[in-house]
Amino acid sequence: MPYDPSAFPPFAVTVDLVVLTVRRHALCALAVRRGEPPFQGRWALPGGFVRGDEDLATAAARELAEETGLHVQDQTGPAPANAAHLEQLATYGDPKRDPRMRVVSVAHLALAPDLPAPRAGGDAHSVRWAPVNELLDEREGEHTAPLAFDHARILADGVERARSKIEYSSLATAFCPQEFTVGELRRVYEAVWGVALDPRNFHRKVTGTPGFLVPTGGTTTRQGGRPAQLFRAGGATLLNPPMLRPEA
């Protein structure tokens, strides 16, 4: 069958970013208030259109920097000490997801330790860290109006990806500083899963999982109380046995 251009109308490709961090013991996502139509004034995930000379990872990093002033290290270059984890999440292509035109979005998931307060830029009117439960709440209110586009679905998918991956991988350490305590790592699991964990059982599991944590030889009192042993992420990418998620 010969190629017929009229049978394939043009469409745009965008990147949307689910950027997660743990702040004040809560799992938070980055949200921008849109400064332009459509959905002007509504909260949304950071993102934008992919340029003709960009690959998807480059577009995702550029949009994050333009709209928020934050920088995420992708996996193609040397990773600084505070590098964030970045991976593709899923593709969203409902023909009616964007009222302007047919738009296919390739969502990315970024995870990092307690990130600084972001700054608005690009077409974002303002930007903030918000608890994911608040952003996914569909009640109308100052901070609880539904997210623009299909971003509530994308955010929910990103949160579930993070929740499931920390069961069987070392991804939870991406939320921690370069050196951290077992207590700090436990609070990451509690924030992401939304449950309380027994400190002694958790300590036994994570320190007994081969390749998960490596002692640094140092201690810290930054959380008060007695000095706590410091660890860094080990070389394991898959956890055996896995850290099974308890029921909320």
CATH number for the domain spanning 34: value is 3.90.79.10
Q: What was the pLDDT predicted at 216?
A: 96
113-117: long-range pairs with CB below 8 Å, 24+:
113/21, 113/22, 113/82, 113/174, 113/175, 113/176, 113/177, 114/21, 114/22, 114/23, 114/177, 115/19, 115/21, 115/23, 115/70, 115/84, 116/70
Domain range for 59 is 5-165
* Of 98, 114, 120, nearest in space to 34 by CA: 120
| Domain identity same for 113 and 142 | yes
Q: Give 119 or 193, the one with higher predicted confidence.
A: 193
Q: For residue 122, report the phi and psi dihedrals to the nearest 5 degrees.
A: 60, -130
| Domain identity same for 135 and 217 | no
Degrees to nearest 5, angle at CA 59 with 58 and 61: 65
- Kindly report the pTM of this predicted structure: 0.88
Alpha carbon of residue 158 to chain centroid: 7
- Residue 73, judged by CB atoms within 10 A of its CB (0-12, 13-18, 19+), counts as middle
| Domain identity same for 116 and 146 | yes
Instruction: Please state, in angstroms and rounded to a whole number, the distance separating the CA atoms of residues 126 and 137.
Output: 20
Q: Is residue 38 part of a domain?
A: yes
Q: Is residue 128 part of a domain?
A: yes
Q: What was the pLDDT predicted at 58?
A: 92
| Domain identity same for 139 and 179 | no
Q: Is residue 106 part of a domain?
A: yes
Of 134, 165, 196, the residue that ends a domain is: 165
For the cut 80, the answer to whether the pLDDT of residue 141 exceeds it is no
Q: Total domain count for the chain?
A: 2
Three-state DSSP at 243 gives: coil
Per-residue pLDDT tens digits for 224-239: 788 999 999 998 999 9
| Domain identity same for 19 and 142 | yes
Q: Is residue 243 part of a domain?
A: no
Of 119, 146, 165, the residue that ends a domain is: 165
Q: Is residue 239 part of a domain?
A: no
| Domain identity same for 204 and 153 | no
| Domain identity same for 195 and 160 | no
Per-residue pLDDT tens digits for 70-120: 776 555 544 554 556 889 999 999 999 999 999 999 999 998 887 767 766
For the cut 80, the answer to whether the pLDDT of residue 144 exceeds it is no
| Domain identity same for 47 and 23 | yes
| Domain identity same for 15 and 133 | yes
| Domain identity same for 86 and 186 | no
* Of 220, 245, 244, nearest in space to 232 by CA: 220
Q: Is residue 245 part of a domain?
A: no
Three-state DSSP at 128 gives: strand
| Domain identity same for 156 and 195 | no
Q: Is the dihedral of CA 97, 100, 102, 105 positive or negative?
A: negative
Of 165, 197, 218, the residue that ends a domain is: 165
| Domain identity same for 111 and 210 | no
